[in-house]
């Protein structure tokens, strides 16, 4: 067994204790969260499978996690920073400003992309065994989180290269990582469930990602958005996430204000809608997949 599974060592059995099962209409929904906990070992094994497969299939393995953000950063730096001459505030190197925004963006887009297709992609398992289907999108998201940690390490290297050190604000980074995950998982759960019934929802995901890049402050700073439009702009939850990342990593050089709050409301709303819809439809997944 490879080392990567050693985290499972202390995982308990999925079927502990006394075994008495009652199956009746509506029963699955009433024991939902307890069941999810009982199947935590399956979650870990599926996450381990996805991670292993991802880095096995490609020739350069982990390299992919580095190349994608690195190349995008080069393009942004050259085109916007040098050629278009967009300003970089507070003496923060433009490269670092772009990279700090790119990290949450790639986390969001890969979470949305992978998790939304996870259930439809697990048809074989869904029609043959029982487990809480919520495991699929969350196990898939582990791959994105590992890619993200690799990119984070790359940022650290860049900061050393540019001799730029973050201050105490970096301690708040986990809050914004969680926010990024929540912002992605809400719509991802909704799309994952819809994808089972209507396969054309998978075409929506690339569109959201492409469109999202233009309305999120990845290649620009929110400072360029006129004051009057901030409240509308702030509805995009990615604004709060990305500016939050900048605030943590760039010594507070970010455009954060009360106008990002509607975005948090959107995150909460999408999370609630995604979870509710997923839970309501998941017991019919096996019938329609």
- Binding residues vs other proteins (CB under 8 A): 1-2, 5, 8-9, 11-15, 19-28, 41-42, 45, 49, 52-53, 56-57, 124-130, 194, 198-201, 283-284, 286-287
CB of 200 to other proteins, least distance (A): 4
Q: 119: which residues sit within 8 A by CB, 6+ positions away?
A: 126, 133, 136, 137, 192, 193, 195, 196, 285, 289
List CB contacts of 100: < 8 A, sequence separation 6 or more.
155, 245, 246, 249, 250
Minimum distance from CB of 211 to other proteins (Å)?
19
Tell whether the torsion through CA atoms of 133, 50, 181 and 78 is positive or negative: negative
Least Cβ distance, residue 49 to other proteins (angstroms): 6
Pick 24 or 227: Cβ nearer other proteins: 24
Nearer to other proteins, 169 or 283 (CB): 283
CB nearer other proteins, residue 27 or residue 82? 27
All residues at 6 or more sequence positions from 145 whose CB lies less than 8 Å from its CB, including other chains: 107, 181
For the bound state, the minimum distance from the C-beta of residue 115 to other proteins, rounded and expressed in Å, comes to 18
CB closer to other proteins, 59 vs 83? 59
At closest approach, how far in Å is the CB of 5 from other proteins?
A: 7
DSSP class of residue 225 equals: S
Which of residues 32 and 164 has its CB atom nearest to other proteins in the complex? 32
Longest Cα pair distance anywhere in the chain, in angstroms? 68
């Amino acid at each position: 067994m490879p080392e990567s599974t050693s985290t499972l060592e202390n995982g308990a059995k999925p079927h502990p204790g006394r075994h008495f099962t009652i199956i009746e209409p509506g029963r699955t929904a009433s024991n939902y969260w307890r069941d999810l906990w009982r199947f935590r070992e399956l979650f870990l094994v599926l996450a381990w499978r996805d991670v292993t497969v991802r880095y096995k299939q490609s020739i350069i393995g982990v390299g992919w996690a580095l190349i994608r953000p690195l190349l995008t950063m080069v393009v942004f730096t050259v085109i916007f920073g040098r050629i278009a001459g967009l300003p970089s505030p507070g003496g923060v190197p433009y490269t670092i400003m772009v990279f700090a925004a790119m990290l949450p963006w790639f986390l969001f887009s890969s979470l949305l992309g992978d998790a939304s297709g996870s259930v439809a992609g697990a048809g074989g398992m869904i029609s043959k065994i029982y487990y809480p289907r919520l495991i699929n999108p969350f196990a898939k998201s582990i791959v994105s989180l590992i890619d993200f940690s690799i990119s984070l390490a790359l940022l650290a290297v860049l900061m050393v290269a540019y001799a730029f050190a973050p201050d105490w604000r970096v301690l708040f980074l986990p809050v914004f990582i969680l926010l990024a995950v929540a912002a992605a998982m809400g719509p991802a759960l909704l799309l994952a469930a819809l994808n089972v019934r209507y396969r054309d929802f998978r075409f929506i995901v690339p569109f959201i990602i492409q469109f999202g890049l233009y309305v999120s402050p990845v290649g620009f700073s929110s400072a360029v958005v006129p004051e009057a439009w901030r409240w509308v702009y702030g509805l995009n939850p990615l604004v709060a996430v990305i500016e939050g990342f900048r605030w943590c990593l760039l010594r507070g050089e970010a455009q954060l204000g009360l106008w990002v709050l509607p975005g948090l409301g959107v995150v909460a709303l999408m999370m609630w809608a995604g979870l509710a819809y997923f839970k309501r439809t998941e017991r019919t997944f096996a019938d329609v997949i």
